[in-house]
């Protein structure tokens, strides 16, 4: 396939269509409105359905409905919009409904601004909605990876019957980079959901989809089933990238946009003779605890960089378990750190420890 220049948001949209998604429900919000806009134009061309919803609350519940029928379905939003979906996401996780969410994170909290940020890491990976559930959360760092992870998001959603989330940010969403798209998926080869989906109870017992049981002992069983699934995902689906970590004394931990910037920092440091590497979780849930723990054996200092007040930082610390120091550098509110400033901060931190 030939490379084309596309915006992150639109790349995700096209990738979704190629992955067999024909249904998109969404409500405009900067900096991701180009994705619903793209879908409104593109989906009718492939006999798909685009529907602009009345709100994000409606959106997530439309996803719920479409997913009940076993259809590949997607939405996209940005921070405040995703907050409004929390009830519905919790419902979908419990009802084991596959669907793909995109959160193009912007500066927060509250209305915040519309610039790139990573303040929704906790919401994506821990809390968010109520109750015990997890989303598979994929954090791309380039437009190409956004394409690849979108396809993966649909496949994992179907495989595990779970909502998955692409955690991007305004930078990745708005920028154009060259990408190569995968081939169109033959719709007839998509996973078969006939054993559970609501398709009309013809010649079979009714299929019931709920996130509810009035009897706590049965609800507990449903919970344990989820936990079992999550353990399975933790076993199979951990993804991460290591860059020049083999001989690194210092390892930067970062995800998404910050990780791409941190790559430059690694290069800068290496030029100065500093042995710096990068550890980049691709799945922020399941978080790569084990590989990071292993890395901790041979590394002197971790340097966590995020565009938030230190959210993934807790996972990094959980992985490392207090064995090695973890320094932290951050920008917030939509400010994107430059390679330079990160490098300066790293050198200072390193100097202090030397």
Ligand X SMILES: Cc1ncc(C[n+]2csc(CCOP(=O)(O)OP(=O)(O)O)c2C)c(N)n1
Of the pair 266, 301, the CB lying nearest its own copies is at 301
Give long-range contacts, CB 8 A cutoff, 24+ apart: 215-221: none
Of the pair 91, 243, the CB lying nearest ligand X is at 91
Stretch that binds ligand X, among 21-29, 39-47, 290-298, 306-314 (CB under 6 A): 21-29
Among 6, 12, 17, 29, binds ligand X (CB under 6 A): 29
Q: Provide, rounded to whole angstroms, the least separation between the CB of residue 311 and its own copies.
A: 7
Provide the 8-state DSSP code for 221.
H
- 105 near another protein (CB under 8 A): no
SS3 9: helix
Cross-sheet strand order for the sheet of 301-306: 240-243, 276-281, 250-253, 301-306, 326-330
Between strands 283-285 and 136-138, the pairing is: antiparallel
Q: How far is 312 from 227, CA to CA, in rounded Å?
A: 22
- 28 near ligand X (CB under 6 A): yes
- 80 near ligand X (CB under 6 A): yes
The residues with which 138 forms a beta bridge, in sequence order, are 166, 283
Q: Report the partner that residue 37 touches, choosing among another protein, its own copies, ligand X, none (CB closer than 5 to 8 A by kind).
A: another protein
- What number of CA atoms fall less than 13 Å from residue 9's CA on the CB side? 24
Q: Provide, rounded to whole angstroms, the least separation between the CB of residue 77 and its own copies.
A: 10
Q: Report the partner that residue 238 touches, choosing among ligand X, its own copies, another protein, none (CB closer than 5 to 8 A by kind).
A: none
Alpha helices per DSSP H over 237-255:
none
CA proximity to 269, closest of 261, 277, 257, 260: 277
Of the pair 18, 331, the CB lying nearest its own copies is at 331
Residues 45-74 that bind ligand X (CB under 6 A): 56
The DSSP secondary structure of 19-49, one letter per residue, reads TT--EEEE---TTSTHHHHHHHHHGGGGT-E
Among 46, 65, 220, 294, binds another protein (CB under 8 A): 65
Q: Provide, rounded to whole angstroms, the least separation between the CB of residue 93 and another protein.
A: 13
Q: Provide, rounded to whole angstroms, the least separation between the CB of residue 85 and ligand X.
A: 10
Q: Are 332 and 305 in contact (CB under 8 A)?
A: no
SS3 62: helix
Q: Report the partner that residue 75 touches, choosing among ligand X, its own copies, another protein, none (CB closer than 5 to 8 A by kind).
A: none
Of the pair 26, 281, the CB lying nearest ligand X is at 26
- 191 near ligand X (CB under 6 A): no
Cis peptide preceding 244, ω within 30 of 0: no
Interacting residues with ligand X (CB under 6 A): 27-29, 56, 80-81, 84
């Amino acid at each position: 396939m030939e490379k084309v220049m596309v915006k992150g948001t639109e790349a995700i949209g096209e990738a979704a269509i190629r992955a067999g998604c024909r249904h998109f429900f969404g409500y405009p919000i900067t900096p991701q409105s180009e994705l619903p806009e793209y879908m409104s134009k593109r989906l009718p061309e492939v006999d798909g359905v685009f529907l602009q919803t009345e709100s994000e609350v409606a959106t997530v519940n439309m996803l719920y409905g479409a997913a009940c029928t076993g259809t590949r379905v997607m939405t996209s939003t940005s921070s405040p919009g995703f907050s409004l979906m929390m009830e519905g996401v919790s419902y979908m996780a419990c009802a084991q409904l596959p669907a793909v969410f995109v959160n193009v994170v912007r500066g927060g909290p509250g209305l915040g601004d519309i610039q790139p940020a990573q303040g929704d890491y906790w919401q994506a990976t821990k809390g968010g909605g109520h109750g015990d559930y997890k989303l598979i959360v994929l954090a791309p760092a380039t437009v190409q990876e956004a394409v690849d992870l979108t396809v993966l998001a649909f496949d994992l959603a179907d495989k595990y019957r779970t909502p998955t989330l692409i955690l991007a940010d305004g930078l990745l969403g708005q920028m154009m980079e060259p990408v190569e798209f995968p081939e169109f998926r033959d719709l007839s080869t998509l996973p078969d959901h006939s054993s559970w989906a609501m398709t009309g109870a013809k010649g079979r017992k009714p299929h019931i989809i709920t996130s509810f049981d009035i009897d706590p002992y049965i609800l507990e069983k449903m919970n344990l089933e989820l936990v079992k699934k999550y353990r399975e995902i933790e076993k199979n689906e951990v993804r991460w990238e290591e860059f020049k970590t083999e001989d690194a004394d210092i390892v930067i931990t970062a995800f998404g946009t910050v990780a791409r910037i941190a790559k430059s920092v690694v290069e800068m440091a290496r030029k100065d003779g500093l042995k710096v590497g990068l550890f980049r979780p691709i799945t922020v849930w399941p978080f790569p605890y084990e590989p990071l723990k292993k890395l901790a054996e041979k590394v002197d200092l971790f340097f966590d960089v995020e565009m938030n007040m230190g959210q993934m930082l807790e996972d990094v610390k959980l992985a490392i378990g207090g064995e090695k120091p973890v320094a932290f550098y951050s920008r917030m509110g939509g400010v994107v750190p430059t390679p330079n400033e990160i490098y300066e901060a790293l050198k200072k931190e390193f100097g202090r420890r030397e």
